[in-house]
Amino acid sequence: MRLIGDGEDGTGVWTALTDPVAVKKALEKRAAQRRTERRFHEEYFGGMLRAKMAARATTKAAAGGGTAATRQLKAARRE
């Protein structure tokens, strides 16, 4: 086995492949997998963040906004 640098983002891949064409194809396949994983994580955590921000906005609106809302939010966190 040998370690081959990807070159795209500095990562390396351990492989038993020796044919340069096969190595290039394997690196391209793994790069595509990483892009897919990155998009999934961005969408997943972005959705969680949007949901959290929406919940905060709803809580603040229900509290009446302004300093009263701030006091209510702080009191709710302590409980």
From first to last of its 79 residues, the chain has per-residue pLDDT tens of: 888 876 666 777 788 988 989 888 888 888 888 889 989 999 988 888 888 888 877 766 655 556 666 666 676 655 5
Task: Give the CA diameter of the chain.
Answer: 69
pLDDT at position 64, please? 57
- How many CB atoms are closer than 10 A to CB 27? 20
Per DSSP (E only), the strands in the chain are: 2-5, 12-15
In whole angstroms, give the CA distance from residue 75 to residue 59. 12
Question: In the chain, how many domains are there?
Answer: 1
pLDDT at position 40, please? 92
Structure-token pair, residue 14: 């351990």
pLDDT at position 65, please? 55
pLDDT at position 36, please? 92
pLDDT at position 71, please? 67
Contact 27, 6 (CB under 8 A): yes
Which residues span the domain enclosing 46?
A: 2-78
